[in-house]
Amino acid sequence: MRHQEGREWPASLDVSALRASGWEPLPFHEFIVKIHSRCDLSCDYCYMYEMADQSWRDQPRSMSAETADLTASRIGEHAQSHNLNRVTLILHGGEPLLAGRELISRLVTATRLAVGPAITVDASVQTNGVGLSDRYLSLFDELDIRIGVSIDGDPGAHDRHRRFASGRGSHASVVAALRRLQRFPHLYSGLLCTIDLRNDPVATYEALADFGPPRIDFLLPHGTWARPPPGRTSDAKATPYANWLIAIFEHWYPRPRTRIRMFEEIMQLLLGGAANSEVVGLAPARMVVIETDGSIEQEDTLKIAFDGAPATGLHLIRAPLDAALELPQIAARQIGARGLSGECRVCRIHQVCGGGLYSHRYREGTGFANPSVYCPDLMALIGHIRSRLATDIRSLPRRRATG
């Protein structure tokens, strides 16, 4: 049964009142396009197939050429009407490589034509790597499409979750793809790793760093208050995920072999800068998802919350992308601290934590007006990094005043 909407935050958010107060929505600049809705792996933690929302079952397997053209047209319309100078096009799935080279080429080329020569389209693909052949690499080189690959560490760590439907592990296939990708360093955007507390953190980091990625994204396993992630209990003193990440931070910080996005963004925020992240900070969310059938949806990790959570009721045939900016569920992620729960707003680190990933805040009855299910871990991790930075800053030589 689909979730009963209208009773939980942010359904009660009054966008008209926000606009009357002077607030204006920011246009989308990141377009996540689901070009294929199925996958050639059967990962047991996948938010697309294994959690609350099962709408993938009703989606066409692959985006049609007509929908790809309409997607490009709507992105161009949105970018031009808001005078954007740069947009990001992310090819996603399922497994996007299953869509085929022709469709990928068509969508990327059509989008660049639709936005016009004055607007740059940064195209990228997030793949499990299994199908990353030489032919695909040649195409991505031709089209300047950057490539992110999902891998969870060494063979034991990776193959525990990321398997083919037959049960066979995919690590060897992904390693072969990464070796091919290393011949195209200008296309290599980084690695994505989902944390498993059973894996040694430093060994996991080193296994990933050996592939020479420009950046590593460590992802907290998706979960909510209704369905907590593995190892995350109701004990507020327990911080297993912070402990795991702190072990990597202490190994990485004095001698980084590569960038680690979560650490860098927390450090940037602690030092008074800004971060463009969904996981920490209060930067307005400016992404939108386009499904294989042309439906306009919210950020896809919302699928962990309840059936239909990402839905907007909008479709490219009937509505421009601007229509989504008027929805309370989109506005709630663009209003900064006002979109946080009362508990989060009075927290001393809310400007850095930002309430954590929006999807991880869900609790039945109160919706997304809650702290993250990872609140204790985020508190501990941010506190540790802050202490480390403060110690280093105090040790810097002081300049003598002149006058």
The pLDDT tens digits of the residues spanning 216-270 come to: 999 999 999 999 999 999 888 999 999 999 999 999 999 999 999 999 999 999 9
* Inter-axis angle of helices 240-252 and 261-270, nearest 10: 90
Number of H helices, E strands in the chain: 13, 10
* Helix or strand run (H / E) with residue 240: helix 240-252
The CB-side HSE value for 145 (13 A sphere, CA atoms) comes to 30
Enumerate the β-bridge partners of residue 89.
Answer: 31, 123
Two tokens, residue 193: 């790793």
Distance CA 155, CA 138 (A): 27
More confident residue, 361 or 49: 361
The pLDDT tens digits of the residues spanning 320-329 come to: 999 999 999 9
Are the C-beta atoms of residues 255 and 332 closer than 8 Å to each other?
Answer: no
Query: pTM for this structure?
Result: 0.95
> The tokens 């997030």 sit on which residue?
126
The answer, yes or no, to whether residue 56 has pLDDT greater than 90, is no
The answer, yes or no, to whether residue 64 has pLDDT greater than 90, is yes
- CB neighbours (10 Å) of residue 75? 28
What's the pLDDT at 4?
Answer: 45
Structural domains in the chain?
A: 26-393 (3.20.20.70)
Distance CA 82, CA 51 (A): 36
The answer, yes or no, to whether residue 335 has pLDDT greater than 70, is yes
The pLDDT tens digits of the residues spanning 136-179 come to: 999 999 999 999 999 999 999 999 999 999 999 999 999 999 99
Q: Give, as one character, the DSSP assignment of residue 360.
A: G
User: What share of the chain has pLDDT > 90, as a percent?
Assistant: 91
> The tokens 């960038």 sit on which residue?
259
Distance CA 350, CA 372 (A): 11
Residue 3's pLDDT band, with cuts at 50, 70 and 90, is very low
The pLDDT tens digits of the residues spanning 96-132 come to: 999 999 999 999 999 999 999 999 999 999 999 999 9
